[in-house]
Amino acid sequence: MNKKVIIIIILVILIAMMPIVFKIREATIGRVVRVDGRLYYDTGKRKRVDCGVMDGEIRSKVPTWLIPIKDDQSNFSDELAYQFNGKKSLNVRHKGVYYIFNVKR
């Protein structure tokens, strides 16, 4: 077989596999926000918040399979607000529900 044909076949296979690779990476990363240089990961837990004063907002978003690289950025929404909940935890408001995000060790 011609080298060009082999290269084209390999490229087609790789391109066809990209959505699968991105879905796997998305599932392993999960929901992440970056605030003050730290990455906070969704714990999957909800929180009842009595104080409604937010400390900041998430105003930009990267694709779900990427990790945020700028402060006040997430990989799932650009319409979030957050409160600090100690040194390594955030309460993140998303669509009226508060979720707990923690720094991983």
> For the chain, which residues make up each domain, given as ranges?
1-30, 31-105
Q: What is the pLDDT of residue 97?
A: 93
Q: Report CA 96 to chain centroid distance, whole Å.
A: 18
Distance CA 92, CA 46 (A): 9
Contact 55, 5 (CB under 8 A): no
What are the structure tokens assigned to 37, written together? 């240089």
Higher pLDDT residue, 10 or 39? 39
pLDDT digits (tens, 9 = 90+) for 7-35: 888 888 877 776 665 555 555 689 999 99
What are the structure tokens assigned to 89, written together? 């935890």
Contact 57, 82 (CB under 8 A): yes
- Interstrand relation of 56-58 and 89-94 (parallel, antiparallel or unpaired): unpaired
pLDDT digits (tens, 9 = 90+) for 66-83: 899 999 999 999 999 999
Distance CA 88, CA 70 (A): 18
Contact 65, 26 (CB under 8 A): yes
pTM more than 0.75:
no
